[in-house]
Amino acid sequence: SLSAEKPHVPFFFCGTKTEALHWSARPRSRPAPTEEARSTASVASSCYSTSLQSTTTRVSFLSPSRSLPRALPHTSRREVSFNVQDSEDFTERVINSELPVLVDFHAQWCGPCKILGPRLEKAVAKQKGRVAMAKVDIDDHTDLAIEYGVSAVPTVIAMRGGDVVDHFVGIKDDDELDSFVSKVIGQ
Amino acid sequence: MAALYGGRHRWKRINCLHIFSRKLTGKYDYDLLVIGGGSGGLACSKEAAQLGQKVAVLDYVEPSAKGTKWGLGGTCVNVGCIPKKLMHQAALLGTAVKDAKKYGWQIPDTISHDWPTMAEAVQNHVKSLNWGHRVQLQDKKVKYMNLKGSLVDEHTVRGLSKAGKETVLTAKNIVIATGGRPKYPTNIPGAAEHGITSDDIFWLKKSPGKTLVVGASYVALECAGFLKGIGLDTTVMVRSIALRGFDQQMASLVTDYMEAHGTRFAWKSVPNRVDKLSSGALQVTWTDTQTGSEHKDTFDSVLWAVGRAPETKALGLDKLGVQLNKETGKIVVGPDESTSVPNIYAFGDIGEGRPELTPTAIKAGKLLAHRLAGQSTELMNYDNVPTTVFTPLEYSCVGLSEEEAEKRHGKDGIEIYHAFYKPLEFTVAERDASQCYIKVVCEQGGNGKILGLHFTGPNAGEVAQGFAMGFQCGATYSHLIQTVGIHPTCAEEVVKVHITKRSGLDATVTGC
């Protein structure tokens, strides 16, 4: 269906886009897998089950190698998005997520963010669990936002295996978001 | 527990949970450490960083007595210029909506204002500025720390976090730009418990309701102005005169306008006590000092606007021997913003004798950064600074007041041109323009160098900015009347002034 809804706001984002986000693929430091861990990890899901918390959607385990089969955690309830609580939470649920994660940096005072938020949720929901979405309020998590080079909001970064693989600033319409999300998942 | 210093050895000192090492080889953590992240502090630190200095800025907001706090950016951004101007605009729009009816707009007879809508919008904008400043510091490579800074010695600053964690930092030069905070009266029972200040008014989630504003500074009048403008019952209590330090004829035009438009003024009055009633309302008792009579009234809010005190107490300045002015408590500074202690500088609101304005703080900060980086010797010029009071009838000025000009040059040494004018927009709107006025104070003789320019009217700040440039260039009355006016504007009346006070003629000008 035609996404005829163009933003009626005279601006697409809040703040100034100072320079291009200077982290193209920004690896966040995370523990490097040891040789031992690599060998045990390649044995199906046994080491994963110990860290798997099936009661929540949170999955925290190392994904040292991309060649590992993606063992989707078998949680039935999957919220479309979650609010990042603190930097440990971000590390666990975003950096160490085995799913690709869209991080929506937004602010309470940002009008365009309120428009983009629901659209993003819709685009993510369409993917039926193939991608997760983390929401970061930049006033609550200023250091995190600064670390990821956020200047204007909304800024959405896509992370896969702890690396930034894509990003955009400002509002996008439904079609643009669908293709952005598909690209991130790798379809 | 002081560590022992010895020659060129490096000593480690454990301080609370934080371990740091103090290098005594003459190298410091930073080239420049700025305490205070307001208009001045941010400008200075960003400029210094751009000049290649290693800079850190400490910003910390001690919550107000009512618990209000805010983010990076200082007074102007959070509890001053910015929210003030936005709320002033909200009030002006209310007047405009009423005027609109006369211009043909079909508007309901009564319109009302919703405080929460305005407050949220204003607060959201301020928060976006907090963020913007944070990003700018990051871009300009200034290290930002949310710590309360105090001086340990002329090269060492202790920063305290909200959680009580200590960080010690050393710097070649230290700049103090901590500004000021509103004063609470000390001798009025109930003042602190029940009253608020400008630190709180812009962050209220609910309307302040019927308000008593105590004070007659521009803070008091501007706040009272927008409160009345959005429809709140507002009273201003003045101890002696309004807008002390400003031209008093202009000051009375400002207050006359406010009185004519519904603001109550309790002249020559001082509050005695503030009590909270069981209904939750505040009862204020005051004395009319002219008659000696006592009065009482109830208000929803009491706003104290009785002056601002410099933020120096917690800085540890006495320990270092940084000289303060005994009366004001501000830091005594030289023309280069230096203090009595080498390597320590101070500027902005905290400097004694300095204008309490954002543009002067910003400019002074940038020039200081240049001097500290060894790039220039240019000093800040604090003369010819224009300013505007954003009361319902705005007042802008540059240069001397009539009183000051008379004092310096004598009554016969000056010529004053003046005019009462009517903004064209007021005609159809049937608005009273009695207080719209222009006064140009010039030197007697010669081309009549302009000593002071004063203007009351709509958009006074916009009108005066261009004239301030002329003033800076040493404009004379001759220059003024050679300038062709832009028609139809209010500003054109400035270049058309020709009636002198001395002549005694009626200064009311008619339109074309």
Summarised one tens digit per residue, pLDDT across range A158-186 is 999 999 999 999 999 999 999 999 999 88
Q: Which pLDDT score is estimated for A78?
A: 53
Q: Is B9 a catalytic residue?
A: no
Lowest mean per-residue pLDDT among A13-17, A48-52, A84-88: A48-52
The answer to whether residue A140 scores a pLDDT higher than 50 is yes
Query: Sign of the CA dihedral A145, A148, A150, A154?
Result: negative
Mean residue pLDDT of chain A comes to 71
Closest CA to B142 of B229, B57, B252, B261: B57
Question: How many Å apart are CA A169 and CA B490, to the nearest integer?
Answer: 43
Residue A64 included in any domain: no
Rounded CA-CA distance B55/B57 in Å is 7
Domain that holds residue A158: 81-185
Residues A85 and A51 in one domain: no
**pLDDT (0 to 100) of residue B229:** 98
Residue B334 phi/psi, 5° resolution? Answer: -85, 175
In this structure, the answer to whether residues A48 and A89 fall within a common structural domain is no
Residue A144 near residue A95 (C-beta atoms within 8 A): no
Give the mean model confidence (pLDDT) for residues B66-80: 97
For A161, the token pair is 């295996």
Looking at the predicted structure, is the pLDDT value of residue A97 above 70? Answer: yes
Q: Does the model's pTM come out above 0.90?
A: no
Amino acid B295: pLDDT: 97
N-term to C-term CA, chain B: 79
Q: CATH number for the domain including A133?
A: 3.40.30.10
A109 vs B132: CB contact, 8 Å cut-off?
no
Mean confidence (pLDDT) of chain B: 94
In the three-class reduction of DSSP (H, G, I as helix; E, B as strand; rest coil), residue A24 is classed as coil
Quote the pLDDT of residue A53: 34
Q: Are residues A144 and A85 in the same domain?
A: yes
Strands (E), B186-291: 211-214, 234-237, 264-266, 269-276, 282-288
What confidence score (pLDDT) does residue A39 get?
Answer: 41
How many angstroms separate the Cα of B364 from the Cα of each of A121, B145, B220, B418? 48, 23, 27, 34
Q: List chain B residues with CB under 8 Å of A109.
A: 123-125, 127-128
Q: Are residues A106 and A37 in the same domain?
A: no
Which residue pairs, CB below 8 angstroms and at least 24 apart, start in B111-116?
B112/B231, B113/B230, B113/B231, B115/B204, B115/B206, B115/B207, B115/B208, B115/B230, B116/B205, B116/B206, B116/B207
Of B85, B87, B124, nearest in space to A14 by CA: B124
Q: Which residues lie below 8 Å from residue B280, measured CB to CB, with a gap of 6+? A: none
Q: Is the domain of A100 the same as that of A161?
A: yes
The reply to whether A39 and A122 lie within a common domain is no
Confidence band, pLDDT 50/70/90 cuts, at residue A15: low
Looking at the complex, report in whole angstroms how far the Cα of residue B163 sits from the nearest Cα belonging to chain A.
16
**How much is the pLDDT for B21?**
42
B125 contact residues in A (CB cutoff 8 A): 109
The pairs formed by B15-22 with CB atoms below 8 angstroms and a separation of 24 or more are: B15/B166, B15/B168, B16/B164, B16/B165, B16/B166, B17/B165, B17/B166, B18/B165, B18/B166, B18/B167, B18/B168, B20/B167, B20/B168, B22/B168, B22/B170
In a domain, A16, yes or no: yes
Residue in the structure block whose two tokens are 């989707």: A72
Give chain A's domain count: 2
CA distance B266 to B290: 11
Q: In terms of domains, do A32 and A122 share one?
A: no
B430 is written with which tokens? 């049937």
| Confidence (pLDDT) at B511 | 61
Confirm if A109 and A13 have CB atoms less than 8 A apart: no
More confident position, B365 or A40: B365
Distance from CA of B361 to the nearest CA of A (A): 24
Task: With CB atoms and an 8 Å threshold, state whether B132 touches A19.
Answer: no
Tokens of B417: 């041109």
Distances in Å between the Cα of B45 and the Cα atoms of A17, A18, B255, B261 are 21, 18, 40, 44
Which amino acid appears at position B187 of this protein?
Answer: N
pLDDT range class, residue B313, cuts 50, 70, 90:
confident
A65 within some domain: no
Q: What does the pLDDT read at residue B474?
A: 97
List Cα–Cα distances, A66 to A89, A95, B322, in angstroms: 22, 14, 62
Do residues A85 and A170 share a domain? yes
A27/A101 same-domain check: no
Residue B454 buriedness (CB in 10 A; 0-12 / 13-18 / 19+): buried
- Best interface-test mutation with A: which of B78, B123, B131 has the largest number of A CBs within 10 A? B131
**Residue B472: count of CB within 10 angstroms of its CB:** 15
Q: Are A180 and A158 in contact (CB under 8 A)?
A: yes
Asked whether the predicted pLDDT for residue B454 surpasses 60, the reply is: yes
| Percent with pLDDT over 70 in chain B | 95
Are residues B138 and A146, on separate chains, in Cβ contact within 8 Å?
Answer: yes
pLDDT attached to residue A46: 27
The answer to whether residues A118 and A165 belong to one domain is yes
Residues of B in contact with A153 (CB under 8 A): 131
Residue among B456, B178, B453, B185 at smallest CA distance from B305: B185
Q: Which residue of A has its CA nearest to B129?
A: A15
Q: Do A107 and B125 touch (CB under 8 A)?
A: no
- Kindly determine whether residue A15 and residue B135, on different chains, have CB atoms separated by under 8 Å: yes
Q: Is the pLDDT of residue A65 over 90?
A: no
**In-domain check, residue A2:** no
Of B124, B136, B139, the CB nearest to A108: B124
pLDDT bucket at B130, cuts 50 / 70 / 90: very high
Residues of B in contact with A108 (CB under 8 A): 124, 127
Identify whether the C-beta of residue A91 lies closer than 8 Å to the C-beta of residue A30.
yes
Mean pLDDT of A98-123: 95
**Do A119 and A165 belong to one domain?**
yes
The answer to whether residue B301 scores a pLDDT higher than 90 is yes
The pLDDT assigned to A186 comes to: 83
Tell me what the mean pLDDT of segment B73-93 comes to: 98
Q: How far is B153 from chain A (nearest CA, A)?
A: 30
Residue B131: list chain A partners with CB under 8 A.
15, 107, 138-139, 142, 153
What is the CA angle B322-B326-B327, rounded to 5? 140
Over residues B349-382, the pLDDT tens digits come to 999 999 999 999 999 999 999 999 998 999 999 9
H/E element, B346: strand B344-346
When scoring B128, B136, B147 by the number of chain A Cβ atoms within 10 A, the one with the most, hence best to mutate, is B128
Token pair listed for B176: 């103090």
pLDDT at position B26 is 58
The pLDDT, as a whole number, for residue B311 is: 80
List CB contacts (< 8 A) between A110 and chain B.
Answer: 128
* Residues β-bridged to residue B181: B309
Indicate whether A75 belongs to any domain: no
Is residue A14 very low, low, confident or very high in pLDDT (cuts 50, 70, 90)?
confident
Annotated catalytic residue within B88, B113, B155, B487? B487
Residue A45, pLDDT score: 24
Catalytic residue among A102, A113, A123, A171: A113
Rounded mean pLDDT, B271-277: 97
What is the separation, in whole angstroms, between the first and last Cα of chain A?
Answer: 20
Within-domain flag for A76: no
User: Going by C-beta distance under 8 Å and a sequence separation of 6 or more, which residues neighbour residue B30?
Assistant: B54, B55, B56, B143, B169, B170, B171, B172
pLDDT of residue A187: 61
Q: Are residues A101 and A168 in the same domain?
A: yes
* Residue A13, in any domain of the structure: yes
| Within-domain flag for A110 | yes
B71 in contact with A, Cβ within 8 Å: yes
Interface A-B, measured as beta-carbon pairs within 8 A, has a size of 36
A152/B220 Cα distance (integer angstroms): 36
Is B128 close to A19, i.e. CB distance below 8 A?
no
